[in-house]
Structure 1
Amino acid sequence: MQTIVLATQKGGSGKSTLAIGLAVAARNAGHNVRLIETDPQGTLSNWQSRRGVAEPMVETIYNVGRIESRLEQLSRGGVTLTIIDTASGVSAITAAAIRCADLCLIPTRPSVTDIEASAATLKAVRAWRKPFAYVLNQTPVRGRRIDTAAQALGGEDGRAMSEMIARPFISMRNDHQDALASGLAVSEYAPTGKSAEEISQLWRWTEARLGGDVSSHEIFSLASGPGRLQSGAAQVVETATAQPLTPGADGLTSWDACL
């Protein structure tokens, strides 16, 4: 069994909607999927209530000591993929989830402040030497902000750092919030829409990354982007790398997902 953890310091980055989208995409690809919610806000649980008994099922874990043992039970029970949705910040239970992860995804909106706020999460991920990638989420369909954010994450050596950034970027569209309100994933709500296509591609990228089959040339070449670096955000990765952490330390719409 493989485990994906979605974590980030800042709220409103869209962790829960991404977790749901990836879980359903993975199930459609043949995986036996379980969603685990460690966020007391309960977004996944509320989604499951609206959804009914349809897979993938959601279970809640708020006790830090239960994460590892439950993952072992799920693996023995035939689950092939677990996706863990965490609360904002870096709590003890989030750190425990990261410790068990095969891949950590760090969702961030395409703004300098959101990218800078991800530094604490990145330090926790690096403390356990876990593979990770940023997911640029809730991006405008067009505009230079996306390129600027991507370059800020990648730093000056864009080609070398591009493995850190998942593809494609996930655009901000009504389908995501409408699907969530209906107890569906976006691929179920509007299966032929752009949002469903992006989530499907993101799952394929993630699956390849889990298998170790993704190279920087295949993912994304930041070197060709037109934006200029934002000096503060461009140093997020460098700062997190330079300051090691001891393992175990604690249609468009303007919508704030807060998920």
Structure 2
Amino acid sequence: MHTIVLATQKGGSGKSTLAIGLALAARQAGFTVRLIETDPQGTLSNWQRRRNNDDIVVEPIYHAADIQPRLKMLAESGLQLAIVDTAAGLSAATTAAIRHSDLCLIPARPSVADIEATVSTLSVARAWKRPFGFVLNQTPIRGQRIDNAANALAEEAALDLADVLARPLIVMRNDHQDSLASGLAVSEFAPNGKSTEEIRSLWRWIETRLELSAGNMLIDQVMSAADGMLHAAAEISADEITTLAS
């Protein structure tokens, strides 16, 4: 199982809408997905209550000590992908989620306040040596502000822009908020829209970054289960031999 965490200090950066959009994009790409909510504000839980479809489960986990054991159980159950939506600020739960992530996505709007707010999240990801990437979210369609923000993020991470900035940039459109209010993902609300195209492209960027393949993950899970069955059978045989010898 792979775990993706969306985290940043600044509120209103669009973590929840990105988490929902990516969850549906991953499911449509053939992955089994669970949304995990560590934000007591409950944006994901409220979204699920407005939803008529139960194909994506939202699981609230608010205590830091519960995150690692639950992720372990989900991995053992055969789940392929967990996407964790965190609260604004830096809490014990957010730190725990980042610590056990395979990729920490740090959303930021193209503003000075948002970019400055990424510092603490970046520090946690680096402290635990977790892969990370910035997502420029709610951007205007074009303009110098986007380039300035992207360059500032690269300078902050002390890495080349191509190494830290997820593609594509996510443009600010009403589709994201309208779909959230309807209990839908943007790919369900406007399946042929530009916002949907951007979210699906962002998911493909993540797939490449993590070298994901739904088919390969399924094969790995089958082989792991087979290894477990062989190990159990070997233990039974050993017990039988011991019994007969006695």
Give the alignment's TM-score, normalised by structure 1. 0.79
Provide the C-alpha distance between the structure 1 equivalents of 2:66 and 2:153, rounded to a whole number of angstroms: 33
Show the counterpart of 1:178.
Answer: 178
Displacement after TM superposition at 1:30 (Å): 0.4
Show the counterpart of 1:211.
Answer: 211
| Letter aligned with residue 117 of structure 1 | A
| Letter aligned with residue 182 of structure 1 | S
Show the counterpart of 1:60.
Answer: 60
Show the counterpart of 1:242.
Answer: none
Show the counterpart of 1:14.
Answer: 14
Show the counterpart of 1:167.
Answer: 167
Provide the C-alpha distance between the structure 1 equivalents of 2:156 and 2:92, rounded to a whole number of angstroms: 33
**8 A contact 2:157–2:164 mirrored in 1:** no
List alignment gaps of at least 5 residues for structure 2: 213-246
Provide the C-alpha distance between the structure 2 equivalents of 1:89 and 1:195, rounded to a whole number of angstroms: 27
Q: Secondary structure at the match of 1:118?
A: helix
Show the counterpart of 2:49.
Answer: 49
Show the counterpart of 1:23.
Answer: 23
After TM superposition, the structure 1 stretch with the greater mean CA deviation from structure 2, 194-203 or 152-161, is: 152-161
Displacement after TM superposition at 1:75 (Å): 1.0
| Letter aligned with residue 175 of structure 1 | D
* More helix as a share of residues: 2
1:155 aligns with 2:155: yes
Show the counterpart of 1:113.
Answer: 113
Show the counterpart of 2:215.
Answer: none
Show the counterpart of 1:72.
Answer: 72
Q: Residue 157 and residue 56 in structure 1: after superposition, are their counterparts in 2 closer, same or farther (change >3 A)?
A: closer
After TM superposition, the structure 1 stretch with the greater mean CA deviation from structure 2, 72-81 or 128-137, is: 72-81
Q: Deviations over 1:39-59 (max 9, x none)?
A: 000000000000134211101
Q: Secondary structure at the match of 1:3?
A: strand
Q: Deviations over 1:109-159 (max 9, x none)?
A: 001221011101111111100000000000001211111111111239998
Q: Deviations over 1:154-207 (max 9, x none)?
A: 239998342110000000001000100010000000000000000000000011
**8 A contact 1:151–1:158 mirrored in 2:** no
Show the counterpart of 1:237.
Answer: none
**8 A contact 1:137–1:169 mirrored in 2:** yes
Show the counterpart of 1:36.
Answer: 36
Q: Residue 157 and residue 63 in structure 1: after superposition, are their counterparts in 2 closer, same or farther (change >3 A)?
A: closer
Show the counterpart of 2:217.
Answer: none
Q: Residue 31 and residue 140 in structure 1: after superposition, are their counterparts in 2 closer, same or farther (change >3 A)?
A: same
Question: Pairwise CA RMSD of aligned residues?
Answer: 1.8
| Letter aligned with residue 55 of structure 1 | D
Provide the C-alpha distance between the structure 1 equivalents of 2:143 and 2:131, rounded to a whole number of angstroms: 30
Count, aligned residues: 213
| Letter aligned with residue 108 of structure 2 | T
After TM superposition, the structure 1 stretch with the greater mean CA deviation from structure 2, 52-61 or 86-95, is: 52-61
Q: Residue 174 and residue 167 in structure 1: after superposition, are their counterparts in 2 closer, same or farther (change >3 A)?
A: same
Identity, in percent, stands at: 66
| Letter aligned with residue 173 of structure 2 | R
**8 A contact 2:168–2:201 mirrored in 1:** yes
Q: Secondary structure at the match of 1:35?
A: strand
Higher relative contact order (CA 8 A, sep 6+): 1
**8 A contact 2:109–2:139 mirrored in 1:** yes
> Which of these two proteins has the greater Rg computed from alpha carbons?
2
